[in-house]
Amino acid sequence: MTTATFPLPSGRAGRATRGFSLARFLAELFEGVAEGRRLADRYETLARKSDSELARLGLKREDIPRAVFASRSH
């Protein structure tokens, strides 16, 4: 794996840039985007259900956002 470091404005690398990995940043960025898409998909799935279907799941329409974020993987 390639690690990219960027120099400080003075032109010298320092502790602030040590450990910064462009690959790690991009991986975390894409994972965040993927998690956002999964949450949106869960929300849409629940939002399409009727009130009676939601009630069978123990939810009200206003509970959908809480239920979606409660199911979030950490």
pTM exceeds cut of 0.75: no
Say if residues 36 and 29 touch (Cβ distance below 8 Å): no
pLDDT digits (tens, 9 = 90+) for 8-33: 665 555 555 556 799 999 999 999 99
Specify if 61 maps to a domain.
yes
Asked if residue 39 belongs to a domain, the reply is yes
Question: Which one has a higher pLDDT value, 61 or 6?
Answer: 61
> CA geometry: angle at 28 spanning 2 and 67, to 5°?
165
Within-domain flag for 1: no
Cα gap 24→1, rounded to integer Å:
10
- Domain range enclosing 37: 33-70
Tally the domains of the chain: 1
Is residue 10 a part of any domain in this protein?
no
